[in-house]
Structure 1
Amino acid sequence: MSDSGQLSIQHLRSSLKPFAKPASGRAAWQVADTFLPYLGVWALLIHLFRTGASVFLILPLLLLGALLLVRIFIIFHDCAHGSFFASHRANVILGYVAGILTFTPYTYWKRNHLIHHASYANLDRRGVGDLWTLTVDEYRALSPLKRLAYRLYRHPLVFLGIGPGYSFLITQRFLYDWQGKDERFSATVTNVALLATLVAAGLTIGFKTYVLIQLPIVLVGGAVGVWLFYVQHQFKGVYWAHQDDWDPVKAAMEGSSHYKLPKVLQWFTGSIGLHHVHHVLPRIPNYRLQECYDAVPEMRTVPQLTLFKSLGSLRLNLWDEGRRELISFKSLAA
Structure 2
Amino acid sequence: MRTGKELILATKVFAKEDRKKSWFEVFITIFFVLVVFPMPFLNTPLWTKLIASVICGLLYVRMFVIYHDYQHHTILQKSKLAEWIMTGFGIYLLAPRRIWKRSHDHHHNNNSKLSISGIGSYPTICKDRFQKLSKKQKRIYLINRHPLTIIFGYVTLFIYWLNVKSFVQSPKKHLDSLAALLIHLALSIMVFMIFGPEIYFIGWFAPFFLAFGIGSYLFYCQHNFPKAKFRENHDWTYDNAALSSTSFMEMNPIMHWFTGDIGFHHVHHMNSRIPFYRLREVMAKMPELQNPPTTSWNPMEIYRCFRLKLWDPEKDKMITLKEL
TM-score, normalized by length of structure 2?
0.88
Counterpart contact for 1:82–1:91, Cα < 8 Å:
no
Cα deviations across residues 124-180 of structure 1 (Å, max 9, x unaligned)? 585211112232112222344543444444332x22333432322344333546548
Cross-structure match for 1:287: 277
Cα deviations across residues 204-247 of structure 1 (Å, max 9, x unaligned)? x5464445422111111111001100111111121211111112
RMSD: 2.6
Cross-structure match for 1:255: 245
Counterpart contact for 1:24–1:85, Cα < 8 Å:
yes
Report the Cα distance in structure 2 between the residues aligned to 1:180 and 1:121, rounded to whole angstroms: 30
Counterpart contact for 1:119–1:125, Cα < 8 Å:
no
Segment of structure 1 superposing worse, 248-257 or 133-142: 133-142
Question: What is the Cα deviation at residue 84 of structure 1?
Answer: 2.0
TM-score, normalized by length of structure 1?
0.86
What SS does the aligned partner of 1:301 have?
Answer: coil
- Choose which of 231, 235, 244 in structure 1 pairs with 2:225: 235
Alignment map for 1:162-177 (pairs within 5 Å): 162-174=152-164, 175-176=166-167
Question: What is the Cα deviation at residue 185 of structure 1?
Answer: 3.8
For the pair 1:13 / 2:8, whether they are aligned, the reply is: yes
Report the Cα distance in structure 1 between the residues aligned to 2:114 and 2:213, rounded to whole angstroms: 25
What SS does the aligned partner of 1:103 have?
Answer: coil
Question: What is the Cα deviation at residue 197 of structure 1?
Answer: 3.8
Distance 1:126 1:8, change over 3 A: farther
Report the Cα distance in structure 1 between the residues aligned to 2:66 and 2:54, rounded to whole angstroms: 19
What SS does the aligned partner of 1:331 have?
Answer: coil
Question: What is the Cα deviation at residue 60 of structure 1?
Answer: 2.0
Report the Cα distance in structure 2 between the residues aligned to 1:265 and 1:160, rounded to whole angstroms: 19
Counterpart contact for 1:84–1:91, Cα < 8 Å:
no
Report the Cα distance in structure 1 between the residues aligned to 2:141 and 2:258, rounded to whole angstroms: 31
Cross-structure match for 1:142: 133
- Choose which of 45, 53, 68 in structure 2 pairs with 1:62: 53
- Choose which of 193, 217, 231 in structure 1 pairs with 2:207: 217
Unaligned runs of 5+ in 1: 1-6
Counterpart contact for 2:64–2:89, Cα < 8 Å:
yes
Question: What is the Cα deviation at residue 89 of structure 1?
Answer: 4.2
Report the Cα distance in structure 2 between the residues aligned to 1:202 and 1:146, rounded to whole angstroms: 38
Segment of structure 1 superposing worse, 110-119 or 158-167: 158-167
Q: Hey, which of these two has a bigger chunk of helix by percent?
A: 1
Cross-structure match for 1:325: 317
Unaligned runs of 5+ in 2: none
Report the Cα distance in structure 1 between the residues aligned to 2:154 and 2:287, rounded to whole angstroms: 36
Cross-structure match for 1:269: 259
For the pair 1:122 / 2:113, whether they are aligned, the reply is: yes
Q: Which residue type is aligned with residue 23 of structure 1?
A: D
Report the Cα distance in structure 2 between the residues aligned to 1:314 and 1:147, rounded to whole angstroms: 17
For the pair 1:77 / 2:71, whether they are aligned, the reply is: no
